[in-house]
Structure 1
Amino acid sequence: MKRFTAILIAVSLTGAMLSANSPAVRADGTQITVSSTAQLLAALQNVRAGDEIIIREGIYKPDASNGKWRAFEAVASGTEDQHIIIRSEDPEKPATLCGLTPESKCVLYITGSFWEIRDLKISTGCKGIFLAQSEHSVISGCEVFDIGAEAVHIVDDSSYNLVENCVIHDTGLYQPQYGEGVYIGSAMNSTEYGFECHYNTVRGCQFGPNITADHVDIKEFTYGNLVEYCTFDGTGIKGQNGGDSFVEVKGNDAIVRYNTGYRNGCEKQLYGFDMSNQLDDWGRNNKFYDNKLYLDSEEVNIVKGWKCYAECCRNTADPASCTYFGNRVLSVRGYVLAGDANEDGQLDYIDPAFLRDKLLGREVPHISPENADLSGDSSLNAADLTMLKRKLLQNDTKEKAQIYVDFRKEESGKWRMTDGLGTKTVTFRVSSKPDAGLNMGWGYWDPYYVDAETGKQGKWNQLSLGTVKLNADGIAEMIVELPPDATNVALEVYSASDSAGKLDKDEVTLDAVITS
């Protein structure tokens, strides 16, 4: 492997590359300072684009005779240039908004886009914060606790919203089976809300203790939701209604990255991250990478998902023997893609941000020197960053990554691959002595094959590769096409020889297994 040197140079990036979901600059509007529940209710009822509701320290709780399902409610939208802001006057002494009891009322229900909900305590309601029919809204710096069901619900066609730097704990006090921390979307049997909840971000939040269900639940019919830089405390997970993990993904194209989770001996937590195939074509193309999980037991999977497609890379677990589980869960060693600095298999705004921080000596979760070295001079410097910015600005992002997948040596001359290779074209790269000949085969398990005579399910399929001739460098590549349900793929050397005679199988090495 080439040796790389990072050269410390300060280089600026365009704003578009620096962040996603950043709130727009708010134009001048009306500032409304409130110090009573009646004033807060009135302000929410009359709020308009550009307004800022400033709440003084205190406890705000509606009259018991109000009778509405929502303790505090607003139906209004800001604009891209004029957000609506509701916040505590002093973030160090936050105002507390309460429902009546954990059995009744949603505490704060917002219908509309371009809201900023900042530095509030939300407590004592059946549900905490609802965002409905909302786009480009932000929930930041809030503490949500003592909630009967879920704490934050992004629902009813709400997309491009951000939940950041919040503390969420003690949920599910009344309905533990629905005690999620953040719930994105709606279950497929819902008839009340729209399902289109896409590209929302949960970032930098602290979850737990005593969140009784999944800390983040991403529902079917959703695309592109992101969970990153969060901390999870599994204490108090009840395991009811499938709520038995830090994050459960039922949608497509979700990313879960840079998080840290502590199971803390919670026996009801069965998985670090969980996927569920609720219906055809959902639970697909999700990614889990660079997460650190402390799971207490090797029986707890890092990621689980049967019939769900996912790529998992560089996740670390304690115990180290924890594994992935799922016939379509792909364990990835790395991605090769020019410009993919954070090595997640795609080019996006994160890559120049990570490379910039690396050049400035800042800590980043992961950097790939090989992918980031666009200038090819075996060092990381301003030239690489400039070329990467240009690549993104010119939308030169169509190239697909080469995916180097996981495998293990099972015995001399035999290797077992990760699951998740079904439907893929796979290249096996082997090496031995130059010009050697290898008699080889490969095989896979089909878990869905049913024998027509016996009714027995499952079948091993063994296929010959014939004699594989190595080149003058002692390398050969074999390409195979895998059927959709292939699992437990194995590659085997039956015998090996060169011009001097028979070779030992241990003289043959599987160097890489590559797909795209």
Structure 2
Amino acid sequence: MSLRKSSRRAVFLGAAGISAVVALTAAVGGPARAAGVNLSAAFAQTSVWTSGYGGGYTITNRGDAAATGWTVEFDLPAGSAVSSSWSSVRTQTGQHYRFTNAGFNGTVPPGGTAGFGFNVAGSGLPAGCTVNGVPCDGGGPGTTPPPTTSTTPPGTTTTTPPPAGGTLDVSTAAQLQAALANAAPGQAIRLAAGTYRGSFVTTKAGTAARPITLAGPANAVLINDGPSGDAPDCPVPTAGWDSGYGLWLSGAPYWTLRGFTVQESKKGIVVDDSPHTTIDGVTVHHVDEEAVHFRRSSADSVLKNSTITYTGLVQPGYGEGVYLGSANSNWGCHGNSGGVDRGDRIQVLDNHIGPFVAAEPIDVKEGTFSGVIRGNTFDGRGITGQNSADSWIDVKGIGYTIEGNTGTFAPPGTFANGYENHNTSTSPSFDNGCGNVWRNNKSDLGGAGDYAIKISSVSKCAANPNVVYASNTVTNARSGLTNIPVTP
């Protein structure tokens, strides 16, 4: 039987356009001067927590020739250190840090920009910044250095997103569908502003050296008015069936999704069997169920700098903002790693989730390990309490770090505790809900919640306990910070 939801009204989100003006000047009566590169680099903090902050640099080419590589260097004061970074290759000598471009962002056209980010443990800000050897506030036209290859010292974390490949511009739904169906490693698919209605799915894989990028402005809007057709027993791309997902990666690792909007769909972005996916700066809102789901062992993925609101419009109890893994009752479909959905080492960083996320802003499922949830802002207005959804985060996974987040709750909604853990029995057996760490989280429970951090079934985690540090704070709680002793 074929089912089709009624068409929804598109919502357009404004985005600033970027234009580049290239000027070539010639001396009167003489030959034109050689084109030159003029790079500047501007620092900005993107989030701040008790023990550190996140920030980054935006590099702008104010010259009249393309830069084909860049290096930013700066010093941090004693007591502060870069703990992680992305979109760059990082090396360190004492308190001096050097960031060179990743493969995908070394070319900066005249008038164009590139950027990279990092997290700092400590409060010290960068000083003495240079870009390609000149002060970061800009120097005269210079010679573009060749791309560099750095040897990273042991223990240094680096992240290299997709390298540049051929760029394909799309402006219609049909063009986008064709681009997703034929995507190749290293390719960049660039969305024009506008509304794209249809089923958008890819099964094409990038590689570690040549990932695939889909990017567009915030007013490039993907809408799927499905589902339709006869669904298979387990959701996999099937001829004649429209899942209703706004964007679906299935068996498509090494993708980066950046900047665009997904709305008015059954689910927002679903990442199935697609590890090493990065979702950066997207907006997902007004979806029937969950906004972003990393499923079928889509490990080593990242969701960052994104905004999620208005989920669970049809099934409130299944309207999670971010869903990591699968409930063990669904491992029969999604347990593709020894019968388990191993969505391990997923990072959820610096996102704004809520209001009117009907279920948990983040739901961490059993059988997943070692993720990081950091620097997010949770607005709990509109949490429904359906299907036991009554907290910002429910952690059934193992060994997660939850730090530097800020959560608030105010009516309307149903709210029990800020953060909760649960111990779910599974086969194969794991210490579900154990070994998780909370630090530097700020919670305002609005007079409705009992604890900022509620640890259940403490005895089940005796061998791998949950740890709540005293650096967590709470206001307007009915009971207090936590129900277990805090760690200094």
Tell me if TM exceeds 0.5: yes
Deviation at 1:15, TM superposition (A): 7.4
Partner of 2:249: 110
Hey, which of these two has a bigger chunk of helix by percent? Answer: 1
Letter of the 2:245 counterpart: C
CA distance 1:298–1:189, shift in 2 (3 Å):
closer
> Is the CA contact (8 Å cut-off) linking 2:445 and 2:477 kept in structure 1?
no
Gaps of 5+ in 2: 1-76, 81-93, 99-151, 229-242, 336-340, 459-464
Q: Deviations along 1:410-435, whole A, 9 cap, x unmatched?
A: xxxxxxxxxxxxxxxxxxxxxxxxxx
Q: Structure 2: how far apart are the matches of 1:298 and 1:51? A: 49
Partners in 1 of 2:294 and 2:211 — Cα distance? 18
Structure-2 residue corresponding to 1:253? 399
Other-structure match for 2:487: 332
Q: 2:454 aligns with which of 284, 297, 304?
A: 304
Residue aligning to 1:229: 375
Aligned counterpart, 1:160: 300
Q: Following the alignment from structure 2 to structure 1, what is the Cα–Cα distance between the partners of residues 169 and 276? A: 24
Q: Distance in 1 between matches of 2:211 and 2:310?
A: 30
For 2:209 and 2:446, how far apart are their aligned partners in 1? 48
TM-score, normalised via structure 2 length: 0.61
Equivalence for 2:220: 95
Whole-Å separation in 2 of the counterparts to 1:189 and 1:321: 34
Matched, 1:12 2:97: yes
**Contact preservation (8 Å) 1:297, 1:322:** no
Question: In the alignment, which residue of structure 1 is the partner of 2:329?
Answer: 189
Is residue 476 of structure 2 the alignment partner of residue 319 of structure 1? yes
Q: Which residue of 1 aligns with 2:197?
A: 61
Instruction: Decide whether the 8 Å contact of 1:129 with 1:152 is kept in 2.
Output: yes
Secondary structure of the residue aligned to 1:331 is coil
Larger Rg belongs to: 1
Q: 1:174 to 1:72 in 2, by over 3 A?
A: same
CA distance in 2, matches of 1:18, 1:157: 26
Within the alignment, does 1:274 sit opposite 2:420 as a pair? yes
Q: Which residue identity does 1:231 align to in structure 2?
A: T
SS of match in other structure, 1:256: strand
Contact 1:306/1:325 (8 A) holds in 2:
no
Residue of structure 1 in register with 2:445 after alignment: 295
Matched residue, 2:138:
none
Confirm whether residue 23 of structure 1 aligns to residue 160 of structure 2.
yes
Residue among 159, 173, 178 paired with 1:37: 173
Offset, 1:12: 2.2
1:243 is displaced (CA, Å) by 0.8
Once residues 304 and 7 of structure 1 are traced to their aligned partners in structure 2, the CA distance between those partners, rounded to angstroms, is: 32
Query: Which string of whole-angstrom CA distances, capped at 9 and with x for unpartnered residues, describes residues 200-257 of structure 1?
Result: 0000000011000000000000101111000000000001111111111001001110
Counterpart position of 2:267: 127
Distance apart, 1:7 and its partner CA: 7.6
Separation in structure 2 between the aligned mates of residue 278 and residue 233 of structure 1, nearest angstrom: 27
1:354 maps to: none
What is the one-letter code of the residue matched to 1:142? V
Relative distance call for 1:119 and 1:298 in structure 2 (3 A) is: closer
Q: Does 1:177 align with 2:317?
A: yes
SS at match of 1:271: coil
CA distance in structure 2 between the aligned counterparts of 1:173 and 1:267, rounded to whole angstroms? 14
Q: In 2 relative to 1, CA 251–7 (structure 1 residues): closer, same or farther, beyond 3 Å? A: closer
Q: Secondary structure at the match of 1:43?
A: helix
What is the CA–CA distance in structure 2 between the aligned matches of 1:286 and 1:135, rounded to whole Å? 22
1:214 alignment partner, one of 354, 360, 365 = 360
Under a length normalisation based on structure 1, what TM-score does the superposition of the two structures give? 0.58
Deviations 1:276-331 (A, max 9, x none): 111162111011110001112275211113215410111101137742555xx441
Q: 1:32 to 1:72 in 2, by over 3 A?
A: same
**1:17/1:218 CA distance change after superposition, 3 Å:** same
1:314-367 CA deviation, whole Å, 9 max, x = no partner?
1101137742555xx44111xxxxxxxxxxxxxxxxxxxxxxxxxxxxxxxxxx
Structure 1 171/192 Cα, relative in aligned 2: closer, same or farther at 3 Å? same
Name whichever of 95-104 and 300-309 sits farther off: 95-104
> Residue in 2 aligned with 1:369?
none
Instruction: Tell me the CA shift for residue 94 of structure 1.
Output: 3.2
Contact 2:270 2:295 in 1 (8 A): yes
Instruction: Give a deviation string over 1:5-25, Cα, whole Å, max 9, x none.
Output: 9589942275775646x3335
Rounded Cα–Cα distance in structure 1 between residues aligned with 2:312 and 2:193:
27
1:75 aligns with one of 203, 212, 228: 203
2:189 is matched by which residue type in structure 1? I
Q: Tell me, yes or no, if the aligned pair for 2:162 and 2:213 is still in contact at 8 Å.
A: no
What SS class does the counterpart of residue 38 from structure 1 fall into? helix
Structure 1 segments of 4+ aligned residues over 3 angstroms from their partners: 5-10, 13-20, 101-104
1:440 aligned residue: none
Cα distance in 2 for partners of 1:102, 1:148 equals 11
**Contact preservation (8 Å) 1:102, 1:147:** no
Aligned residue for 2:387, secondary structure, equals helix
1:48 corresponds to 2:184: yes
Question: Which structure: greater strand fraction?
Answer: 1
CA contact 2:450–2:477 (8 Å) conserved in 1? no
Q: Is 1:145–1:151's contact at 8 Å kept on the other side of the alignment? A: yes
- The 5 Å alignment of 1:308-387 reads 308=458, 309-313=465-469, 314-319=471-476, 322-326=479-483, 329-333=484-488
How big is the shift at 1:173? 0.2
Contact 1:86/1:116, CA 8 A, preserved across alignment:
yes
- Is contact 2:474–2:481 with CA below 8 Å preserved after alignment? no
Tell me how far apart the structure 1 counterparts of residues 449 and 213 of structure 2 sit (CA, whole Å): 46
Query: Are 1:86 and 2:225 counterparts?
Result: no
The Cα of 1:119 is off from its aligned counterpart by 0.3
1:151 equivalent in structure 2: 291
Q: 2:389 aligned to 233, 243, 255, which one?
A: 243
Provide the rounded CA distance (Å) in 2 between the counterparts of 1:247 and 1:130: 19
Q: CA deviation at 1:134?
A: 1.5
Give SS of 1:78's match.
Answer: coil
1:426-441 matches, within 5 Å, as none
Aligned residue for 1:32, secondary structure, equals: strand
Q: How does 1:477-496 map to 2 (within 5 A)?
A: none
CA distance in 2, matches of 1:7, 1:247: 31
How many residues are matched? 314
User: Contact (CA 8 Å) 2:349, 2:376: kept in 1 or not?
Assistant: yes
Percent identity for Structure 1 against Structure 2: 30
Using a 3 Å threshold, how does the CA distance of structure 1 residues 299 and 75 change in structure 2: closer, same or farther?
closer
- The residue type equivalent to 1:192 in the other structure is C
User: Contact 2:473/2:481 (CA < 8 Å) preserved in 1?
Assistant: no
